[in-house]
Amino acid sequence: MLNISVTKTTAPKEKPEASTLGFGKFFTDHMFIMDYSREKGWYDARIVPFANLSLHPASTVLHYGSEIFEGLKAYRRADGKVQLFRPMENIRRLNNSAERLCLPQIPEQDAYQALTEFVKMEQDWTPSAPGTSLYLRPFLFGNDETLGVHAVHNATFVVIASPVGSYYKEGINPVRIMIEDEDVRAVRGGTGYAKCGGNYAASNRAGERAEKKGYSQVLWLDGVERKYIEEVGAMNVMFKIAGEIVTPMLSGSILPGITRKSCLEVLRKEGYKVSERLLSVDELAEALSNGTLEEAWGCGTAAVVSPIGELCYKGTKYIINDGKIGAVTQHLYDTLTGIQWGKIEDPFGWTCPID
Ligand SMILES: *Cc1c(COP(=O)(O)O)cnc(C)c1O
């Protein structure tokens, strides 16, 4: 058990209008912080007024990118209660990311306590308009005050919260995606499976180039052969090919998404044929040209699912499902959002109400 000290703000902020929320623009009144040193372990767990952090200019994170993060949401149900969705999955993934980056892990129960006590304190900030939620951003970084390069001896864990708007204010519109054949996001043996800031820094260039050409994001290929599909933007990707749901298997360079896992569990429970395997861009192009590619979508916490209406590969454009959201994509959206906002029964035990 952590002993979490609480310092309340003396200047509570006005809560923003639901229509102005957007993503990650507003932050709640408080934040959770705790520090780590090799000698003391995790210490000084505290909830304090939301404020800038003060870092030594030599702090490890600023030079060597020792940073990992998580993203999950608190949802307000119709009865007013606030609930989390599979938070232990995020905590386990945080620790897997920490292990990869040589950052200290947090005992699962302590991380869970930190998260839930913080959400309980900030729960009034969970908006109630359709599709809105309170986005939680736990992050952990190396904080040694020296330029020496080594596994860190000091670290800081922070959780901040941001009320966010509906991802689909204008309805679910399929996006245009470009298959990226130059930059790669990650390689096996690298940090692809870890949710670390550096992966994002390295993928921004391809994203920017795609946007300039009128695409929303890129479809990433594997870093070794540039042949196998990995992810779409910062989401996992799934396809329906000749009746079967296909998603790239977790090979080490793919981020193990909790939305991905949840989609697969829903589909398997309902008897869909689901396959986690290698999927080459040639197989995809073949399915696109012979009409067996029925649906394609990205999946992640922010959007839940994001249907892909067009794919461009080496200059050829392919339209998927007439550019409309497909039945399986829509079904996954309805099921997951139904469970998250407590609108339908949760047969999996995924939701976690805050008391
Ligand atoms: C966070 C993330 C995802 C999605 O994970 P969820 O747990 O479903 O939100 C997918 N790919 C990348 C690269 C990510 O960082």
What spacing in Å lies between the alpha carbon of 186 and ligand 1's midpoint? 13
pLDDT of residue 355: 86
Ligand 1 lined by 162 (C-beta under 6 Å): no
Please report, for residues 44, 175, 211, 216, 328, the alpha-carbon distance to residue 306 in angstroms, rounded to integers and kept in the order given: 40, 7, 16, 11, 12
Range list of H helices, the chain: 60-64, 87-101, 108-122, 197-212, 258-269, 281-289, 327-340
Q: Which CATH number fits domain 5-166: 3.40.50.980, 3.50.50.60, 3.30.2020.10, 3.30.470.10?
A: 3.30.470.10
pLDDT of residue 92: 98
Coil vs helix vs strand at 221: strand
pLDDT of residue 151: 86
pTM: predicted TM-score of the whole model, two decimal places: 0.97
Structural domain spans, the chain: 5-166, 175-340
Atom number of ligand 1 nearest to Cα 258: 7
pLDDT of residue 247: 98
Q: Rounded to an integer, what distance in angstroms lies between the CA atom of residue 68 and that of residue 200?
A: 11
Written as tens digits, the pLDDT of the chain (355 aa) is 999 999 999 999 999 999 999 999 999 999 999 999 999 999 999 999 999 999 999 999 999 999 999 999 999 999 999 999 999 999 999 999 999 999 999 999 999 999 999 999 999 999 999 999 999 999 999 999 999 888 899 999 999 999 999 999 888 999 999 999 999 999 999 999 999 999 999 999 999 999 999 999 999 999 999 999 999 999 999 999 999 999 999 999 999 999 999 999 999 999 999 999 999 999 999 999 999 999 999 999 999 999 999 999 988 999 999 999 999 999 999 999 999 999 999 999 999 999 8
Same fold, 5-166 and 175-340: no
CATH number for the domain running over 175-340:
3.20.10.10
Ligand 1 lined by 301 (C-beta under 6 Å): yes
Atom number of ligand 1 nearest to Cα 300: 8
63 CB-contact burial (10 Å; exposed 0-12 / middle 13-18 / buried 19+): middle
The answer to whether residues 160 and 31 touch, using CB atoms and an 8 Å cutoff, is yes
Atom number of ligand 1 nearest to Cα 299: 8
Ligand 1 lined by 320 (C-beta under 6 Å): no
CB atoms within 10 A of CB 29: 18
Cα angle value 223/253/66 (rounded, 5°): 105
3-state SS of 41-83 is EEEEEEEEECCCCCCCCCEHHHHHCCEEECCEEEEECCCCCEE
* Alpha-carbon torsion angle 43, 47, 51, 53, nearest 10: 10
Ligand 1 lined by 221 (C-beta under 6 Å): no
